[in-house]
Amino acid sequence: MRVRTFNSHTLHPDDIGNNGGTHPHSELLYITRGQAHLEWTGETYICAAPCLFLLTPNTPHRLQCHRTPIDFWFIELHVEEGDRFATSEQAIRWNRLQRNADYSSPGMTAIAHTIEALVRSLEAKYAGDGEYDEEIVLLDIQKIIRLVQNRLRTNKRTVFDAHYKSTRELAQTLMRHMESNYFEPIDLAALSLQVHFNPSYLARVFKSETGVTPMQYLSNLRLSAATSFLIHTEMGIQQIAEETGFNSIHYFSRLFKRTYGVSPQQWRAKRRSAAEESADQ
């Protein structure tokens, strides 16, 4: 890991220009005065100073202020494989917490003090103070990231206690979400963002409660919906695949045959033939 850029600015409501952009670097953005509006990953994050945002590489972002100026600084980091930085999931969860973050609270003071130490290290380094070098700066940055990740783990337990009384309730929440949105693009990462849990933990909990993985449960829902379309409509196989959330007719047909032993066309023909024979009796 190494520092690419460190800079500080004051942004005024009437400033013209795009105060943001996108770049292939990780970034720490710290608001020191005023109320900031950050547009990032399709969301607008609003927070009053002090607040720290974590931005992952290649994600467009834009910083704004609406009524009063804001002061902020940012650090762009070149992060290499094996370096510690927040994952996309962690960055989203952390940035959402900034709206109500209290950096004077017991769980946040260590982060606040380390941010202050980082600023002193950066200012001394760029002022030419020989006692401060990049390694000291990076140690402060790595400490902040580690403290943030620890805080997210603590907060995750709190969120679980507050919103899910049991793993069964968590599994049922996911089941209801998939039952209502089975036709939408859904993967494990999307489900984990829905309930703010690690994907691997989520998969283990879901399987322990239901006997199947979340993706198996979703596939079963989609196949059940497909059989209903086959019986009750004249929709073609391609359209049924699309209506039930399968992004490929070939995958849909292969999974259907593996589950029911015949192709969708054969299954429809057999069911209709059986229904006609029953009606004739």
Tens-place pLDDT, residues 51-95: 999 998 888 888 999 889 999 999 999 888 777 788 888 888 889
Selection from 72, 73, 47, 56 nearest residue 22 by Cα: 56
Query: Can you list the residues of the chain whose pLDDT is less than 50?
Result: 157-162
Is the domain defined by 165-281 classed in CATH 3.40.50.960?
A: no
What is the CATH number that goes with domain 2-163?
A: 2.60.120.10
In 164-213, alpha helices (H): 167-181, 188-195, 199-210
What's the pLDDT at 162? 42
The whole-number pLDDT of residue 240 equals 94
Q: How far apart are CA 123 and CA 129, in angstroms?
A: 9
Q: What is the pLDDT of residue 18?
A: 61
pTM, rounded to two decimals:
0.55
Domain boundaries, the chain: 2-163, 165-281
Distance CA 173, CA 127 (A): 54
